[in-house]
Amino acid sequence: MKLFRSSGVLTPITSLPSAHGIGTMGQAAFDFIDFLAEARQRWWQILPVGPTSYGDSPYSGYSTFAGNPYYVDLDQLVADGLLDAADLEGLDWGDARYVDYDRVYALRFPLLRKATARGLTTMAADFDRFRRENARWLEPYALYMALKDHFDGAPWMDWDADIRLRKPEAVARWTKLLEADVTFYAFVQFLFFRQWERLRSYAREKGVGIIGDMPIYVAMDSSDVWAEPQFFQLDDQCVPKAVSGVPPDAFTDDGQLWGTPLYDWDALRADGYGWWIRRVEGAEKLYDALRIDHFRAFEAYWSVPYGETTAKNGRWVKGPGMDLVGRLTAWFNNMQFIAEDLGYITPELHALLEESKLPGMKVLEFAFDHREPSDYLPHNYSRNCICYAGTHDNNTLLGWLTEISEEDLDYAAAYLGLNPEEGYAWGVLRGGMSSVAELFVAQIQDYLSLGSEARINTPGTAEGNWRWRLLPGELTPELAKKIAAMTRRYGRG
């Protein structure tokens, strides 16, 4: 699917309503696709769908290939005969508006284990086929998760030396010892991808494409790094030599120390970038378009010596550039890539985007600084870009409008013709929808005119993120008609 003049909605799967504590690939996801189709939205953008680790951030997961067990819909498991309806009765999943991750984890995994026990009998042939076809990533991931359970959740860097370093005899011994748990984690992936294929097939029938999100880096405590450490900047004991971050800027004196391991681009290049090709092949099974987070690291990345407590003492190191980007765009010519080019922009990054022909991002919430003109103002756009009202890292439009200065608000109001009759949030949406950008994306909270209480993520904070959810009935036929009318008005329908 191509991006030709169209629009879409950014809504994480976690944010969908459900009776079981968190959004899933169940009926509410199908209903959401129906809503998008009725609203003439061509795209549904989601956040990364991998299994999340401590902190519940979708940008820090246990695997870049696996799916999140939280998204497996329990009602579908009942319909498939893997659970009884009675198994779901009397469970307290907490607040319908905000995800309680501790509660979801405690209640969900016993149910998934029960479904696995039945499914290993009733779905044995399909599961065996799935396991064979995905063995390269699935077996290391399933063993890694079983080992994490065995070692009480400790990161793999703290495991016994023989299995930490993946000595062949240790891998064989632990695989046999933890066989039941390894099979469980593999079967949950079978359930995830089985349900995902149903959902994606339905979306295609409705003319809705799915935009995925790929973090540039993977977590240190992940099966990806544990299984293939040769592709990362680690020493012979698998300790990082340097880690990721971004340098100091106008917002932070210390920069941001992300701490994820950096790629060994020489080793990846010598392997023909096979790891990256396999990674995007995995994404191709899930998405119709792919946003690459922190795309600028392909041009140059900020390298911080391991052990530093801030990112201040890092340095810029050249990335693979078009050597990798060109291979990915040529290899995956049916995949539409989006370059997240926010942050520190350089002429070299502009040149990489120009040569790659990938669309970059423009964010309306960054556009209205009364002190100086901005490249994010719609009159500065070219067609080959994606306009966002705000991303998952931004406040909702209504929240943003209440926190900016009076001068910036006046500037935005004059530029966009904001007025109380239309609603200020809807006026900003109109500004993005009417721009020349190939694609316009807004969060569903903004179409609902919700405030800061509906924010998905606040960078730099550890509490309260990734929790907001839609309530049943909030997405009405009237709202779909209103969005559809604006979409048609500006030629995106």
Q: Please say if 293 is a catalytic residue.
A: yes
Q: Which of 38, 271, 284, 293 is catalytic?
A: 293
Q: Which residues pair with residue 300 across a beta bridge? A: 318
H or E stretch covering 322: helix 322-331
Q: What is the dihedral of CA 200, 201, 203, 206, to 10 degrees?
A: 170
Asked whether 312 and 255 are in contact (CB, 8 A), the reply is yes
3-state secondary structure of 399: helix
Asked whether 145 and 116 are in contact (CB, 8 A), the reply is no
Query: Residue 240: what are its φ and ψ, rounded to 5°?
Result: -60, 145
Helices (H), 228-321: 265-270, 274-284
H or E stretch covering 385: strand 385-388
Q: Which of 340, 365, 438, 446 is catalytic?
A: 340
Other CB atoms within a 10 A radius of the CB of residue 195 amount to 21
Q: Which of 264, 369, 393, 408 is catalytic?
A: 393
H or E stretch covering 478: helix 477-489
> Residue 461's Cα: distance from chain center in Å?
18
Q: Please say if 406 is a catalytic residue.
A: no
Residues 266-272: contacts with CB under 8 Å, at least 24 apart: 267/230, 267/231, 268/231, 268/320, 268/324, 269/320, 269/323, 271/231
Name every residue whose Cβ is closer than 8 Å to that of residue 212 and which is 6 or more positions away in sequence.
Answer: 46, 48, 49, 283, 286, 287, 289, 290, 291
Structure tokens at 430: 């109109």
Other CB atoms within a 10 A radius of the CB of residue 181 amount to 18
Asked whether 438 and 211 are in contact (CB, 8 A), the reply is no
Active site residues: 293, 340, 393
